[in-house]
Amino acid sequence: MVEKNLDFRSDTVTLPTPEMREAAANAEVGDDVYGEDPTVNKLEKLAAEIMGKEAGLFVTSGTQGNAVSVLAHTQRGDEVILEAKSHIYVNEVGGLAVLGGLMARTIPGELGWMKPSDIETAIRAPNIHYPRTSLICLENTHNAAGGIPLTVEQMKADWDVAKKHGLAVHCDGARIFNAAIALRVDVKELAKYADSIQFCLSKGLAAPVGSLVVGSREFIDKARKYRKLLGGGMRQAGIIAAPGIIALTKMVDRLAEDHENAKLLESGLREIKGIKILNPVMTNMVFIDVSGLGWTGREWAAACRELGWKSSGYSSPVVRLCTHYGIEREDIESFLSGIKKLVPKV
Ligand code: TLP
């Protein structure tokens, strides 16, 4: 029985499955800073295998995974190319500058994808006046673009430019499995076109904590040291790694249900005059603009609350709705019939 979780704010709100709770309670543990936690070791190996990389590193969060990856790929004073609305640039507390002493060079993407020609133009030529460009960061799925999956071809095109110029590629793959499921490709095909990938266990995969970084052995050794620097050496972390193993082995395929539910939500909301759908709905996110109802996000969130749902809602009329484990088809259906009664007639 799935525990209900009527909350559209994010897929980060997912609750662990009963099997995860049990796995956490019974996990075999050791001191992971000594490399002696068997459950963490198993999770790291599994993650690397799934992504087709040499090694993996269990980190506390997506933000920490991106931070250690960026640090391991760069030197202070380098420039990093990223999409203008990427999570690393917008939502990670300026870590590039604060932790890495790095410059950010942003490129507006087309549905989250930076065109190779734009990347090429942004790469710095060797010149005494310029910082060195050393890294390109991709995001798949791209959150702010609407949970849009970058295709294998799109990733390859960006990768080819990077490699032509000798640059590293990091992928913020917080929701890379949503991308793989939506595109119906093996996640390895996407992972092939990144030197390193960070992906989250704690979003649609429903584990309570943690992310993984995968890449070459040499890269992971470096990233592990940065994780220690950032306070991420976690000792008996098998307790939180055990649910992660369940996430990777049992929770990936069901992401398709979240995508279907997002589609259902989209089509129901489209029937409401005054609500505009802002993104092509390809994974588990629906972005809406409620200004046509005369509402801001706050009024939207208040209406959702009346129906027993949580939803984001600020002064902006744009709201992101996420579907995830804990929300089922019938929940979306009853939400839609409820909200249709609550919106003002326009
Ligand atoms: N995203 C969160 C918020 O921070 C916005 C969300 O609710 O979507 N990369 C991407 C693409 C993300 O969407 C997120 C989290 C992260 C990295 C960071 O992961 P955590 O929250 O584990 O640090």
Among the listed residues 24, 65, 93, 81, the one whose alpha carbon sits nearest the alpha carbon of residue 236: 24
**CA-atom Rg of the chain in angstroms:** 21
Give the separation between CA 91 and CA 177, rounded to whole angstroms: 21
C-alpha 298: how far from its chain's center? 25
Q: What is the mean pLDDT of each run of 10 residues along the chain (346 residues)?
A: 93 98 98 98 99 98 98 98 98 98 98 98 97 98 98 98 98 99 98 98 98 99 98 98 98 98 98 98 98 98 98 96 98 98 94
Residue nearest (by alpha carbon) to ligand 1 atom 5:
91
CA of 129 to the centre of ligand 1 (A): 35
Identify which of 10, 11, 91 to mutate to test ligand 1's pocket (most ligand atoms within 8 A of the CB): 91
Residues 6+ apart with CB under 8 A from 108: 83, 84, 85
pLDDT at residue 45 in the model: 98
Cβ–ligand 1 distance for 208 under 6 Å, the answer no
Residue nearest (by alpha carbon) to ligand 1 atom 8:
10
Give the separation between CA 330 and CA 304, rounded to whole angstroms: 16
Judged by phi (left if over 0) then psi (alpha if -120 to 50, else beta), residue 249 lies in alpha
pLDDT at residue 2 in the model: 83
Q: What is the dihedral of CA 296, 298, 303, 307, to 10 degrees?
A: 140
Cβ–ligand 1 distance for 7 under 6 Å, the answer no
Identify which of 10, 12, 312 to mutate to test ligand 1's pocket (most ligand atoms within 8 A of the CB): 12
Q: Which domains does the chain have, with CATH numbers?
A: 18-250 (3.40.640.10), 255-342 (3.90.1150.10)
Among the listed residues 176, 228, 172, the one whose alpha carbon sits nearest the alpha carbon of residue 196: 172
Give the separation between CA 2 and CA 159, rounded to whole angstroms: 40
In degrees and rounded to multiples of 5, residue 135 shows phi and psi of -145, 145
Q: CA angle, corner 124, sides to 119 and 125, nearest 5?
A: 125
CA of 225 to the centre of ligand 1 (A): 23
Residue nearest (by alpha carbon) to ligand 1 atom 1:
87
pLDDT at residue 1 in the model: 74
Give the separation between CA 48 and CA 107, rounded to whole angstroms: 30
Give the separation between CA 172 and CA 142, rounded to whole angstroms: 9
Residue nearest (by alpha carbon) to ligand 1 atom 20:
62
Give the separation between CA 284 and CA 72, rounded to whole angstroms: 31
pLDDT at residue 113 in the model: 98
Cβ–ligand 1 distance for 140 under 6 Å, the answer no
Cβ–ligand 1 distance for 87 under 6 Å, the answer yes
CA of 299 to the centre of ligand 1 (A): 25
Give the separation between CA 336 and CA 73, rounded to whole angstroms: 46
Are 282 and 271 spatial neighbours (Cβ–Cβ below 8 Å)?
no
**12 CA closest ligand 1 atom index:** 7
Tokens at 126, concatenated:
């060797």
Among the listed residues 286, 346, 290, the one whose alpha carbon sits nearest the alpha carbon of residue 316: 290
Cβ–ligand 1 distance for 90 under 6 Å, the answer no
Cβ–ligand 1 distance for 176 under 6 Å, the answer no
Tokens at 239, concatenated:
């307790």
3-state secondary structure of 199: strand
Cβ–ligand 1 distance for 91 under 6 Å, the answer yes
